[in-house]
A and B are shown apart, each in its own frame.
Chain A
Amino acid sequence: MNQTKPQAWSPDPATREILDELRGELGACMQCGTCTASCPNGFAMDVTPRQMWRMVQFGMLDRILESRTFWMCSSCYMCTLRCPRGLKLTRAMGALKRLARERGTWKVRRNSAFYDAFMDNVEKYGRVQETSLMPGYFLKSRDPLLPLHYLPLGVRMMRAGKLHVPDGSRKGRLKALFAKVREMEDRS
Chain B
Amino acid sequence: MKYAYYPGCSLQESAHEFDVSVRAVMDRLGVELVEIPDWTCCGASAAEPVSRLMNYALPARNLALAEKELAGLDVLAPCSACYLNLLKVNREVVGDKSLHGQVNEALDACGLAYGGGVRVRHILDVLVNDVGVEAIGAVVGQNLNGMRVAPYYGCQILRPYEVFDDPRKPLSMDNVLTAMGAKIHPWEMGARCCGASLMVTHPEVAMHSVEAILGAAEGADAIATVCPLCQMNLEAYQHDSAAGGHHVPVLYLTQLLGLAFGLEEPAVLLEKNMSLNGSMRAGIRARAWRHEPPGGTEEAGGT
Measured CB to CB, the residues of A under 8 A from B are: 40-41, 43-44, 71-78, 80-81, 88, 90-91, 94-95, 97-98, 101, 111-116, 118-119, 122, 126-130, 137, 149, 152-153, 156-157, 160-164, 167, 170, 173-174, 176-181, 184-185
Q: In the bound complex, what is the Cα–Cα distance between A112 and B49 (angstroms)?
A: 8
Given A119-B54, A127-B9, A177-B107, are A71 and B160 also a contact pair (CB < 8 Å)? no
Task: Report the bound CA distance from A97 to B197 in whole Å.
Answer: 14
Pick from A115, A116, A149 the residue with the most CB of B within 10 Å. A115
Please state if B40 and A94 are interface contacts (CB–CB under 8 Å).
Answer: no
**Bound state CA distance, A28 and B41, in angstroms?**
35
Residues of B within 8 A of A180 (CB): 105-106, 108-109
Residue of B whose beta carbon sits closest to that of A170: B40
| Chain B residues in 8 Å Cβ range of A163 | 14
Q: Which of B16, B45, B52, B202 contacts A98 (CB 8 A)?
A: B52
From known contacts A157-B274, A162-B272, A178-B54, infer whether A115 and B205 are also in contact, taking CB-CB under 8 Å.
no
- The answer for the CA separation of A140 and B16 in the assembled complex, in Å, is 27
Contact residues of B between 210 and 242, Cβ < 8 Å to A? 236-237, 239
Closest to B212 in A: A40
- With A71-B202, A157-B274, A170-B40 known as contacts, the answer to whether A116 contacts B109 (CB < 8 A) is no
Instruction: Give the A-B pair count, Cβ closer than 8 A.
Output: 168
Known contacts A74-B198, A101-B49, A114-B200: A184-B160 contact under CB 8 Å: no
- Interface of chain A, main secondary structure: helix
Between-chain CB contacts (< 8 Å), 21 pairs? A40-B192, A41-B198, A74-B193, A74-B198, A76-B155, A76-B159, A77-B160, A101-B49, A116-B50, A119-B51, A127-B41, A130-B10, A130-B13, A153-B237, A161-B271, A162-B14, A173-B38, A177-B61, A177-B110, A181-B54, A184-B102
A18 to chain B, nearest CB (A): 8
Contact of A119 among B50, B105, B209 (CB under 8 A): B50
Assess A118 versus B198: contact at CB under 8 Å? Given A40-B193, A162-B16, A174-B40. Answer: no
Given known A78-B193, A81-B159, A119-B50, contact A114–B40 (CB-CB < 8 A): no
**Do A114 and B159 touch across chains, with their CB atoms under 8 A apart?**
no
**What is the distance, in angstroms, from B281's C-beta to the closest C-beta of chain A?**
13
A97 touching B274, Cβ below 8 Å: no
A153: chain B residues within 8 A (beta carbon): 236-237
A25–chain B nearest beta-carbon distance, Å = 12
Closest chain A residue to B107 by CB distance?
A: A177
Contact residues in A for B209 (Cβ distance below 8 Å): 40-41, 74
Query: Are A119 and B9 in contact, CB atoms less than 8 angstroms apart?
Result: no
Q: Give the distance in Å from the alpha carbon of A41 to the alpha carbon of B193 in the complex.
A: 10
User: In the assembled complex, which residues on chain A have CB atoms less than 8 Å from the CB atom of B13?
Assistant: 128-130, 162, 164
Min CB–CB distance B40 → chain A (angstroms): 5
- What's the Cα separation between A184 and B155 when bound, in Å? 32
Question: In the complex, A184 Cα to B236 Cα: how many Å?
Answer: 40
Residues on A with beta carbons closer than 8 Å to the beta carbon of B192: 40
Chain A minimum-CB-distance residue to B55 = A94
Question: Could you tell me the distance between the alpha carbons of A94 and B201 in the complex, rounded to whole angstroms?
Answer: 14
Question: Do A137 and B200 touch (CB < 8 A)?
Answer: yes
| Residue of B whose beta carbon sits closest to that of A179 | B109
Q: How distant is B277 from chain A, measured CB to nearest CB, in Å?
A: 11
Q: Does B27 contact A (CB under 8 A)?
A: no
Are A114 and B46 interface neighbours, CB within 8 A?
A: yes
CB distance from B227 to the nearest CB of A (A): 12
Complex: how many Å from CA A184 to CA B208? 40
B160 partner, pick from A72, A80, A129, A157, beta carbons under 8 A: A80
Across the interface, A101 reaches (CB within 8 A) one of B50, B61, B107, B197, namely: B50
Q: For residue B16, which residues in chain A have a CB less than 8 angstroms away from its CB?
A: 162
Residues of A within 8 A of B51 (CB): 98, 119, 181, 185
The interface centre, meaning the residue of B10, B49, B102, B160 with most chain A CB atoms within 10 A of its CB, is B49
Asked whether, in the complex, the Cβ of B50 is within 8 Å of the Cβ of A75, the reply is: no
10 more CB-based (< 8 A) A-B contacts, given A44-B202, A181-B51:
A77-B159, A94-B48, A98-B50, A127-B9, A160-B273, A162-B13, A176-B109, A177-B106, A177-B110, A179-B109
Q: Are A118 and B44 in contact (CB under 8 A)?
A: yes
